Structure 1
């Protein structure tokens, strides 16, 4: 078994991932590295993996390095060991299917197949923390939108917390499929799961928008209309948080909470008219 890894600049990671998934639709592993670099890796037998020229053409100017390594025969067990449950107090456990349930108030099972993991990444965990702290939605709320849904874990928790109807969108068709599968696995009904290109399409209005996206995509959203009462924005480097908060403030959304973990930050932004 061969592991083919491509390292790209984090600012171009979303675009690079979309292109790589065209070459490797079975899924891409994602690892955050230092110095503003993300590593994407695919696995396969020699001759099954994308060619180096195809990878270089797909990633373009975002490319930092390409490497190949042989993987030990026990790679499947090592892969399982990499995906551990996420525990947030006694309120939430997010776990892969092979881990046992515990006594948490909300137990969510996420298959870490494809490129999306189980929700343990810092950006997702921070978003989940802020979501758990929100008051219950008021009658007449327009529900929640998971913008850049990935595995669907944010949409699933939002539905469990009563933020219905819940919709989920993502640029990657594999994320759409993974969200549908994980919602069904957890007995959650989502009002809509579909593909959306944030660079070309407007973001649907919602009372709550959960946006675990890189800063350039969040800023792109702010270039158009932002129709939400509360936005939880994650996927930010610590040094990007102030700029993103200012962009949402221009749409009447004021920062009311900030969380950090390592180099990552997440914001809760509420409409000024709603805060009073």
Structure 2
């Protein structure tokens, strides 16, 4: 469910005479419930990059290129709790360094070490060394919901319940499918309706070839839950997407889930836990466990037999 860090991997190119162009960066305080809407507003206003820091206080940053006037800061009033903390300008030569701030290596669950591709921090011997490109697409491992899902996958694997086939709905980069594969899951399929996620999933596999030894961890496609490649029944479903989207897709999820199969659902704000649990139960998914981190939850539920 992570808000996609919209970062260019290299400094943008400008016509001759703009080599020393000045970029603008906003540092923002953003309550979690406002992040999605704010990100969309900023992108529509010409922001070239947006991300939230992984570590507290988890500030958000929005970047504006030299040829794009920023929106009026007064427009932030439409997003309750959002505050512009500071503005900063910097030259084109500092773009790469500034865009990489806030992306360091970190550990997820008991088995994973996640690092951006430019970070050479070695992984502990007992952890999988996952390499991510924060400019790829939604799904870099830093968001609470992604971490919660990986922790639940670890629990399923330890209990011998990570059996395929597994369908990853709204997979982004495919990070959850790759984590499931490394934990022993097989016959995985990942998809997303965002066309950018097709090449992002392919590149994500390439970045982690050192873990795969030539294996193909999952099949992938761009499409929806009604795509012909969605067959079922699936003993496992992953859905790290927004609650509204989960609610919209639950009838179809119930159709393709195997009786007794599990569903990991996340992208859900903790304040909406009751609403999420009621929605799951009403579509035949019995909640088994709720994990919480910060303002977010992930739910492990089982399809009624």
Question: Is TM-score (shorter-chain normalized) higher than 0.5?
Answer: yes
Structure 1 residues not aligned, in runs of 5+ = 33-37
User: How many angstroms does 1:14 deviate by?
Assistant: 5.6
Highest relative contact order (Cα 8 Å, sep 6+), 1 or 2? 2
Q: Is the Cα–Cα contact under 8 Å of residues 270 and 297 in structure 2 kept in the other structure? A: yes
Q: Is the Cα–Cα contact under 8 Å of residues 176 and 195 in structure 1 kept in the other structure? A: no
Q: How many residue pairs end up in the alignment?
A: 257
User: How many angstroms does 1:168 deviate by?
Assistant: 1.6
Aligned to 1:130, the other structure's residue is in SS state helix
Aligned residue number for residue 72 of structure 1: 90
Aligned residue number for residue 240 of structure 1: 272
Aligned residue number for residue 83 of structure 1: 103
Q: In the TM superposition, what are the counterparts of 1:1-276 in structure 2 within 5 Å? A: 1-3=23-25, 28-30=50-52, 41-44=62-65, 46-47=66-67, 49=68, 69-73=87-91, 74=94, 76-88=96-108, 90-97=110-117, 98-102=119-123, 103-116=125-138, 118-135=140-157, 136-137=160-161, 141=164, 143-187=165-209, 188=212, 189=216, 190-196=218-224, 204=230, 205=232, 206-226=234-254, 227-228=256-257, 229-273=261-305
User: How many angstroms does 1:40 deviate by?
Assistant: 7.5
User: How many angstroms does 1:154 deviate by?
Assistant: 0.7
Q: Is the Cα–Cα contact under 8 Å of residues 147 and 209 in structure 1 kept in the other structure? A: yes
TM-score (norm 2): 0.68
CA radius of gyration, larger in: 2
User: How many angstroms does 1:130 deviate by?
Assistant: 0.7
Q: Is the Cα–Cα contact under 8 Å of residues 53 and 103 in structure 2 kept in the other structure? A: no
- Once the two structures are superposed, what CA deviation does each residue of 1:147-169 show, in whole Å capped at 9, x if it has no partner? 22223211111122232222222
User: How many angstroms does 1:180 deviate by?
Assistant: 1.7
Q: 1:150/1:214 Cα in 2 relative to 1: closer, same or farther (>3 Å)?
A: same
CA distance in 2, matches of 1:146, 1:249: 20
Structure 2 residues not aligned, in runs of 5+ = 1-22
Q: Is the Cα–Cα contact under 8 Å of residues 214 and 235 in structure 1 kept in the other structure? A: yes
CA distance in 1, matches of 2:240, 2:147: 10
TM-score (norm 1): 0.74
Aligned residue number for residue 35 of structure 1: none
CA distance in 1, matches of 2:228, 2:121: 40
CA distance in 1, matches of 2:292, 2:162: 28
CA distance in 1, matches of 2:269, 2:229: 23
User: How many angstroms does 1:266 deviate by?
Assistant: 0.9
